[in-house]
Copies of this chain bind each other. A is one copy, B any other.
Amino acid sequence: VKRSAVVELLAQVRAGAASVEDAAEILGRSPVGELSYASVDVHRSLRTGVPEVVYGAGKTAEQIVGILQALHAHGQDGMVTRLDAAKAESVRAAVTGTVTWSPEAGVLVSRVGAEPARVGAIAVVSAGTSDAHVAAEAAVVAEALGNIVTRVNDVGVAGVHRILGKIDVLRAARVVIVVAGMDGALPGVVAGLIRVPVIAVPTSVGYGASFGGLAALLTMLNACSPGVSVVNIDNGFGAAYQASLINQLGS
């Protein structure tokens, strides 16, 4: 129950309009008082620019439009990940918000309010061109969450001079997302070069013994450098969300 409802109930108790026993029963049935408050807090943050996120892969364009319209009806923005081009086109045609669509990332954002100002500095680094769509998902989501994003592409450890050549960009970031498939070695190398947190994203790119990203995942969990933590395989969204929390800490 929301705090206002609690206050109202207590007032009724004081006024004798509710018995102590009945009120105790009602309160006993409402274990989520504090959590409802949390929900309110979430709503507030949504109104301040963080869009609700919809996983688009298993949903029809109609379902996605329905969710977005419901969000817009409450004055909230919406974001859809893992959306293919055909469904994106259908959604864009049907929703009332201001739509931006990134085909490389498969991310669509539909806003009813103004886009939030972007703050801080997140670098999104990818090892190879095959990792590009996961890196794009991370970058586009991070921007939509209100972060300034710099992208550094194709700097895998096969030519370690490539990442060294980008060291100024890395050191300018408050948090670095590193996306890598195959051997997944890049996050550990990057973490050894900088002094801010690295969020590592293994991708499912690779020959047979990459086992759908397992090889890269294990590499990252075992990174020799401290300062690396890992999200799920191909989960650019999750990395962006975590990086956004870090980047906006205290801001």
Contact = CB atoms under 8 A, between A and B. Distances in A.
Interface string A229-251: 11111110111011001100110
Contact of A202 (B53, B208, B231): B208
Interface string A211-230: 11111111111111111111
- Using C-beta atoms within 8 Å of the partner chain, give the interface range for chain A: 35 or more
Contacts of A156: 224
16 contacts: A6-B28, A7-B21, A14-B14, A27-B33, A36-B161, A158-B191, A184-B185, A185-B219, A196-B249, A207-B221, A208-B234, A208-B235, A209-B218, A222-B232, A229-B231, A229-B238
B182 A160 contact: no
Contacts of A214: 209, 218
A60 B189 CA distance: 29
Nearest to A218: B215
Interface of A: 3, 6-7, 10-11, 13-14, 16, 20-21, 23-24, 27-39, 41, 45, 53, 55, 58-59, 127-130, 156-161, 164-165, 167-168, 174-175, 182-185, 188-189, 191-193, 195-197, 199-200, 202, 204, 206-235, 237-239, 241-242, 245-246, 249-250
A34 B37 contact: no
Contact of A182 (B174, B175, B222): B222
Given A199-B229, A215-B219, 4 more contacts: A28-B37, A211-B218, A216-B222, A227-B245
Contact of A242 (B13, B157, B218, B228): B228
